[in-house]
Amino acid sequence: MLELVPQLLFTGLGIGAIYALVALGFVLLIRAANVVNFAQGEFSMLGAYLMVILSGALGLPYLLSVPLAIAAMAAFGVLFAGATYWPLRHRGQLPVIISTIGASIFLSNIVLATYGPSPEVLPALFDSPGLELGGVFMDSQYIAIIVITALLVLLQFLIFERTLLGKKLQATSQDKEMASLLGIPVAVMVLITFSYSAALGGIAGVLVAPILFVSVGMGALISLKAFAANIIGGFGNIPGAILGGLALGVVETFGAAFISVPYKDAIAFALLLLFLLVRPQGLFGEKISEKA
Amino acid sequence: MNAFVISRRRLALGSTALLAAPHIALAADPIRIGCVFPSTGPAAEAGSFQLNGARLALAQVNEKGVLGRPMELVVEDDQTTNPGAVLAFSRLSAQRDIAAFIGSIRSTQVDAMAPDVLKIGKPMMIGGTSPTLTRMGNPWLFRCRPNDSYSGKVIAEYGVTDLKKQKWAVVYSTDAFGSNGAKALEEALKAKGITPVLMQGYTNQASDYTAVVLAVRQSGADILGSYFTFENDLGIFARQVRQLGVRIPWVGSPSITNTTALSLAGPALHGTYGVADFAVDATPASKDFAQRYEAAHRKAADNQSSWTFDAVNLLALAINTAGSTEPDKIRTALLGIRGYAGAEGEYNFDANGDGLRGYNIVRNDAGKIVFIRRIDIQE
Amino acid sequence: MSTTAQASAVAPAAPAADTWRGLPGLALAVAAVVAASTFAPTSGYILNIVMQAATYAIGVAGLVVVLGYCGQISLAQAAFFGLGAYGVGLGTADFHLPFFVSLLLGIAVATSFGVALGLASLRLGGHYLAMVTISFQQIVTLVLTNWISLTHGPDGVKSIPRPSLPGLELDRGDRYLALCLVTLMAVTWYAWRLKTSRLGRAMQAVRDNEIAASTCGIDVFRTKVLAFAISALLGGLGGGLFAGAFSYISPDQFAFGESIVLLTMALLGGVQSPFGALLGTTLLVLLPEWLRFLRNIYLAVYGAAVILIMVFLPDGLWGFVANRLRRATPIEGAVPPLPLLSQTGATSSEAALVITGLAKHFGGLKALDGVDLTVRRGAVHALIGPNGSGKTTFINVATGLYRPTAGTIQLAGQDLTAAPAHERTRRGLARTFQNIRVFRGMTVLENVMIGAERPGNDIAEQPVLVVSRALAALDFVGLRADANRLVGTLSYGHQRYVEIARALAGNPHVLLLDEPAAGLNMTEKHELGLLLRRLKGHGLTILIVDHDMNLVEQVADHITVLNFGRRIADGTPREVLTNPDVIAAYLGEPRENAVA
């Protein structure tokens, strides 16, 4: 069984990169608006269906469709914030959580009513299925996912650390009151975060579509796992989300190979429960403090 | 399914569509058949195919009428859920003039309705393929598709006799359909003195099958049998099978031959074999049905429509033979049917209520489904 | 006993204290339903639909308890429902146990998992808890699907019998329906009564403000575990009856999506009231019938409705109507005054609160660094210091919200250093907060009743006296007329009085006031000063933290000054306020805060 380890590791990292990518979208919203978005998976689903419309039904070139789909998702993010977050922003976490659950039901069923339950096919980025290296087959789409996730993380780091916009976003996520006292338009910053988070979700959807196909349910399980990755990594912690995602991907792939395939998801969720009970602050920790 | 797509409220009931045949004007009261089909939920599209098949047969039947009366379908929506089916059936069973029922293609829905069917004591034609349905002592269930024990037997027969393979790996969904099918295949192989080298279950909507494919590769199997419920799972699995270098022959359950699977998996399924309860080229009756269906609906016929087509025809035949709409008499007449050539195959109902005992073997020839042969199991 | 006389004096004012309130209504409803059910059909659509609504509503009542009362999100109610259902299904069909034994087994399994989830809520709230419950839900579904040897896997459990009690014929459709409806009504009555019980108020306090709840003597953790346990119990009960009603169950009926359905039922009707839950369940059971024309976008409309409910009807339909009908009628009737008022004050030399060497380090930051402080019985002791000197940290450590790094805390000679916050309150420590922490979802009276119910208080176990004590505390702060108003509708200053009344109703040995003048206007500050002097006159021991030197000078017998986490002065006001170190520490502070 040991000779399987490299192959399982590659797949685990590929799956983990998907979780990490979706988790990245989650984590920004948590930081900026303290919103746990249960419709994050539907962002991915919508991104993929936009590709089906743009490159499939309208016949636009793939490379033009991708930026269009992502831009549309960015716009959708603002709309989403206006409907689910804005009216409830002063009422605490629970109402927002529930309204994003409502949004998730709404979005997936609108798409279900339009496209039906049969999955759609979206072509891969590359014609080549992948390459074999020392007995390990590397799916080209997984390579793309790993590389693009890494690039996005880098890009995000640069934006946050090296630009004024990034600093303002950070200030907003750390202390809204202080940020607004400093003249930062907090509302705009929160909307930008929603928009960026939706765009990230869209990118994730476009990337996983060639692997998982485009279906109404494609984002749901991934987003649950990404959420779990967030908690394992430390809520609201960006490096934590990335590492949590990768760790979860690897653990469940190995768990499936060496423990049980049908209970693969149970392994993932059990790991999460364990983390929640033993180390709720996650690998990297979340700053939790409440002033009495 | 999407974890966030919730099952439609279970108490919802679809519209009661009264589909009296338009072009026959028999004065007598119609003979009414209650149908439980999905018109909402994930299987809504499949439900429309089932209705199409039943209507096609109804038009044919009503050219002559049944006992001099027209036949009529009363349809209730099962919302693609089990409780939905129970409620749909309870609405139908409240209408005392309904002579017989056409139930669901989903085994769990049939299971859920079965106690009520027994209570009401009228025949129900079903499409669910779980072998247990007709073995639980309910005398009113009549199956218009071959059950999964036969698909298992046919897969085993073709793999062992025609392809001459002995080392089997079986991959199956752990849902009702997959686990029952795999059980039947395992038993059929054991009957041939073969113990599979691998029985590997997976949960629906798993996004990655690396561990499964590697287990198949490690097992040293020389043939793969599979029971996949959802086409997207099959598509992901098929691609990984090819990527990870598994090149053994593969005989799959019916989903491997359907249009969605073909478009999702593309070349990854080329050269695979599948069993199908309905194949256009299998018999003259199936060819005839396929032509009529395409003419009427401009769509290729499939097994969703073929079994309801047969169900309506069989009920008409049985009621005519019985000369009455009394449940016991219809039941006796159904049990007496021998050699009826339906779209799904030749019907001979056994004491359990199973009408068919065979499947068609088809092959995916570069994306085209080619009929190879029909295997009927003699018992 | 004189208490009886007191009780009758306030009887009209204390409806909430009647343990058996609503029981005649319940009995009447039960009789009506049993009578009506004899006309119910023994099978068929109507029977099925009503049975489904009834069993679901029992599960939804569980959500009212855990989410509505206790404010803990649970996305696993369908899992508890399923555990109850499988208890009945497997117990009767496979193990041939009697129906009610199986039902109890199912409920026991569901409840124990509920307790386990409640334990998880020890350190987790909000999104964490949501995730824990989702994980639990997913694991239950996976186990029900894959543990085929026990659960029959996805095939589900068939031929589940109904109970056979001789003479009752409960296996008949109409009789079984009556059983479900009677259970539902008992559950609804129980959940309704729970809300105005001591436990129910504790749950709502935990929901509204955990920190304040713990300083009111409520064991937050125990309360949450109980809420989860009751919720799971009701889920299991509903599920068990559901299994008997439909005689067939399968794992997909208890999946995550169904948890969302149950949650939506609760939210639509109003999660604050079991009647709301009943209404929501009935509506969502009937809604598909009415929305039939929507066909395949039905669920999309459903999702949109969830958002709209959250935005426009945060309290659900029932809550919307109840809020409209709410009349904040004043409560009439004289009550005996606070026991405190029968005392007169004099500072004794006896120490009430002794704190020695108290230190609290946050990482490298020494917020408190070895502070000694002794509050004498009957004295008003002020703790002052510039911003960031560690005053609030001191109170938080003293009341048990923070664990000290070093030092000891003694109240009336008993060591409290290791005791949790609610335990300290039980021993007689009470406090108010700098930024007001009242229980916003509750009325003024209920807020103060929670204070009166402080464990360890003399009348805590007597519901009738709790009400009269709370009214007495409101009399003292002059808010009796507002007793039935929601506390959130009061002005900031009055909310502060509610906090003080809440503390006073508990008849504390020592009262800690954390910047009581913060955010008050001049008039309110003046009134506060008068109030504190009255308290002092009756000999209540007070430790007050404040910036407002006017207030401190008015009331303090003794002043301790902190700076950078250390005690820099301690003594009578005159001594302290002329101390050069103190003056130096305050230099640069704005005039109004500076020492004269």
Q: Supply the pTM of this predicted model.
A: 0.81
pLDDT tens figures, B212-247: 999 999 999 999 999 998 888 899 999 999 988 899
Provide the pLDDT for residue B222.
93
Nearest CB to B207: which of A15, A108, A129? A15
Please state at what angle helix B303-322 crosses helix B44-64, rounded to 10 degrees.
30
| C252/B174 CB distance under 8 A | no
| Amino acid code (one letter) for A111 | V
Highest mean pLDDT (candidates A23-27, B293-297, B309-313, C578-582): B309-313
Nearest CB to C288: which of B8, B82, B175? B8
pLDDT tens figures, A33-59: 778 888 999 999 999 999 999 988 888
A201 domain-assigned: yes
Distance from CA of B327 to the nearest CA of A (A): 37
The span from the CA of C592 to the CA of C575, in Å, is: 20
pLDDT tens figures, C335-344: 888 887 777 7
A278 burial level (CB within 10 Å; 0-12, 13-18, 19+): exposed
| B8/C44 CB distance under 8 A | no
Q: How confident is the model at residue A282 (pLDDT cuts 50, 70, 90)?
A: low
A286 domain-assigned: no
Nearest 5°: the CA angle A128, A132, A137 is 90
Residues B153/B188, Cβ–Cβ less than 8 Å: yes
Q: Judged by CB atoms within 8 Å, which residues 487-546 of C form the interface with A? A: 514
| C307/A263 CB distance under 8 A | no
Q: Where are the domains of chain B?
A: 17-146+282-348, 148-276+359-376
The span from the CA of A138 to the CA of A148, in Å, is: 15
Residues B62/B54, Cβ–Cβ less than 8 Å: no
| Kind plus residue range of the DSSP H or E element containing C406 | strand C406-411
Q: Show residues of chain C in contact with A266, CB under 8 Å.
A: 138-139, 142-143
Q: Does C433 touch chain A (CB under 8 A)?
A: yes
Sign of CA dihedral C285, C131, A97, C303: negative
Q: How confident is the model at residue C5 (pLDDT cuts 50, 70, 90)?
A: very low
The span from the CA of C562 to the CA of C545, in Å, is: 11
The whole-angstrom distance between residue C91's C-alpha and the CA centroid of its chain comes to 36
The span from the CA of C150 to the CA of C140, in Å, is: 13
Residues B230/B177, Cβ–Cβ less than 8 Å: no
The span from the CA of A101 to the CA of A88, in Å, is: 14
A290 domain-assigned: no
Nearest CB to C248: which of B3, B107, B115? B115
Residue of B nearest to C249 (CA): B112
| Kind plus residue range of the DSSP H or E element containing C536 | helix C522-537
Q: Does C418 touch chain B (CB under 8 A)?
A: no
| Residue A61 CB partners (closer than 8 Å, separation 6+) | A55
Q: State ipTM.
A: 0.84
Q: Does B132 touch chain C (CB under 8 A)?
A: yes
DSSP string, B319-342: HHHHTS--HHHHHHHHHT-EEEE-
- Count CB neighbours of B195 within 10 A: 10
- The size of the A-B interface in CB pairs under 8 A is 112
Provide the pLDDT for residue C13.
44
A288 domain-assigned: no
| A105/B4 CB distance under 8 A | yes
- Count CB neighbours of B69 within 10 A: 18
Q: Show residues of chain C in contact with A30, CB under 8 Å.
A: 127
Residues B39/B47, Cβ–Cβ less than 8 Å: yes
Q: Which CATH number fits domain B148-276+359-376: 3.40.50.620, 3.40.1160.10, 3.90.1150.10, 3.40.50.2300?
A: 3.40.50.2300
For residue B364, what are the β-bridge partners? B369
Q: Among candidates C392, C382, C384, C396, which has minimal Cα distance to C589?
A: C384
Q: Does A285 touch chain B (CB under 8 A)?
A: no
Q: Assign domain C345-428+509-596 to its CATH architecture.
A: 3-Layer(aba) Sandwich (3.40)
Fold identical between B17-146+282-348 and B148-276+359-376?
yes
Q: Does C139 touch chain A (CB under 8 A)?
A: yes
pLDDT tens figures, C104-149: 999 999 999 999 888 877 666 666 777 788 888 988 988 898 888 8
The span from the CA of C261 to the CA of A102, in Å, is: 11
Number of domains observed in the structure of chain A:
1
Provide the pLDDT for residue C32.
77
Model confidence at B25: pLDDT above 50: no
What CATH number labels C37-324?
1.10.3470
Question: Which residue in A86, A93, A98 has the most chain C C-beta atoms within 10 A of its own C-beta, making it the best mutation to test that interface?
Answer: A98
For residue B168, what are the β-bridge partners? B223
Please state at what angle helix C256-269 crosses helix C298-312, rounded to 10 degrees.
50
For domain B17-146+282-348, the CATH superfamily is Response regulator (3.40.50.2300)
pLDDT tens figures, C178-201: 899 999 999 999 999 999 899 999
Question: Which residue in B10, B77, B104, B134 has the most chain C C-beta atoms within 10 A of its own C-beta, making it the best mutation to test that interface?
Answer: B10
Phi then psi for C145, rounded to 5 degrees?
-80, -40
Q: Show residues of chain A in contact with C131, CB under 8 Å.
A: 227-228, 231, 272, 276
Residue with tokens 């996005």: A152
Provide the pLDDT for residue C334.
81
Question: Which residue in A44, A110, A251, A261 has the most chain B C-beta atoms within 10 A of its own C-beta, making it the best mutation to test that interface?
Answer: A261
Residues B215-232 as b or e (16 or more Cβ within 10 Å = b): bbbebebbbbbbbbbbbb
Model confidence at A292: pLDDT above 50: no
Sign of CA dihedral C477, C478, C479, C480: positive
Model confidence at C23: pLDDT above 80: no
| C148/B10 CB distance under 8 A | no
Q: Does A271 touch chain C (CB under 8 A)?
A: no
Quote the percentage of chain A above a pLDDT of 70: 94
Task: Record the tokens describing residue B23, joined without a space.
Answer: 């072009």
Task: Record the tokens describing residue C324, joined without a space.
Answer: 């409209």
Q: Which domain holds residue A170?
A: 2-278
Q: Among candidates B231, B260, B257, which has minimal Cα distance to B364?
A: B257
Task: Record the tokens describing residue C516, joined without a space.
Answer: 């009581």
Q: Where are the domains of chain C?
A: 37-324, 345-428+509-596, 436-507
Please state at what angle helix B231-243 crosses helix A186-212, rounded to 10 degrees.
70
Q: Among candidates B156, B163, B135, which has minimal Cα distance to B147?
A: B135
